[in-house]
Amino acid sequence: MAKKTKGKKKSSSKRRKAPADGSTADAADELLRETLAREFIGVCLAALKTYGLNTQRLRELAIEAAAEPSAQISSATEVLAEAQRLADAMNKWVEDPAYRDNTGRPSMLCVHADGGPSFAALAREFFPESTVADVVTLGCRANVLERAGAEKVALLNSTVLFTGNSIPVLAYSLRSVRRFLSTADVNRHVDSAVSEGWPDRTSFVEVSEEDFREFIKIIRPQISGLIEMSNRWLFQRSRLPGNRAKKTKVAGLQVFVFRE
């Protein structure tokens, strides 16, 4: 049976709503909260073990992490900094009219500067400390671009993928979980999820392996379209002259397919 849920959903309609901060939760709520917290930690530990960390080391790391204020943890951002700059460069290639060809698509770019829009100009802007050749190599390795002839590069994908590379995938997962938890935190503090909460929707149904593969094929272009639309809107808004002076925070949309 098809199901649609919102992220903010009570486990039972008969259960009394607990305060968002859990300050005056009764014994039953407290027990349930701890059970869920234990399971949550278990899920994280099980996932981390697949990256080669053993139980003893994870226990030590958990104790260290619990002793640190969470705001100080920014390793994921550091690991992803290079990928983020590459993504920003690709974003400019896709969004800036100067980098499009006469059909409206991202044009092939000269590797070396020739006065106009070039890959060298993008590399200089987003990787000032690197050589252009290094940035080309990085882009090819990340599968976002490929060489076209001796002097040009063509955009392959506007999304920087981390497939097959464990450390960036781990950092990316950490950042995704952190972002999801921040949305969940907003939603557990609002009274009306419809008018004040941030959108958080899920669809899930039991399907065969074959149908799951078909689903991916169908949904991939839809997700890409949605992300592209979201990215374009946010990118253009951020560049409006009136918005540049305002205090800003990173905001966005993340979509992924899952199978349990």
Partner 1 sequence: MSEAGKASLARSAMAAAEPLVELFLELGITSPEAESLLRSLFVHKARELLTQPGEEDPSDVRVALVTGVHRNFVRSILAEPPRIAAAREHKGHRTSRLLGAWHTDPHYLDSSGKPRDLSEKDREPSFSTLASTYVPGAAPSVVLEELRRAGLVQMLSEHRVRVRSRTFRMHGVNATNISEMGQRAKDLLETLTHNLRQPQASLFCDSMPSIEVDAARVPFVRDLMARRAGNFLAALEQELAVEARGSRRRKSGQRIRVGLTAFETEQQTTKKRLK
102 binds partner 1 (CB under 8 A): yes
- CB 102 → partner 1: shortest distance, Å? 6
From the number of C-beta atoms within 10 Å of its C-beta (0-12, 13-18, 19+), residue 109 rates as buried
Q: Two tokens at 253?
A: 């949309």
How many residues of this chain interact with partner 1, rule: CB under 8 A? 29
242 binds partner 1 (CB under 8 A): no
- CB 91 → partner 1: shortest distance, Å? 14
Among 217, 244, 247, 259, binds partner 1 (CB under 8 A): 217
Closer to partner 1 by CB, 104 or 164: give it.
104
Closer to partner 1 by CB, 71 or 150: give it.
150
103 binds partner 1 (CB under 8 A): yes
Burial of 138-153, coded b for 16+ CB within 10 Å and e otherwise, reads bbeebebbeeeeeebb
Q: Two tokens at 2?
A: 């098809």
**Cα–Cα dist 31/29, whole Å:** 5
In the range 127-146, which residues lie near partner 1 by CB under 8 A?
Answer: 143, 146
* Residue 83 CB neighbour total at 10 angstroms: 19
Residues 6+ apart with CB under 8 A from 48: 58
91 binds partner 1 (CB under 8 A): no
Closer to partner 1 by CB, 221 or 252: give it.
221
- DSSP letter at 17 equals P
Question: Quick check: 168 and 162 in contact, CB under 8 A?
Answer: yes
List Cα–Cα distances, 115 to 108, 109, 221, in angstroms: 15, 12, 35
207 binds partner 1 (CB under 8 A): no
252 binds partner 1 (CB under 8 A): no
Among 7, 29, 45, 152, binds partner 1 (CB under 8 A): 152
Q: Which residues bind partner 1 (CB under 8 A)?
A: 97, 100-105, 108, 143, 146-149, 152, 154, 156-159, 161, 217-218, 220-222, 224-225, 228-229
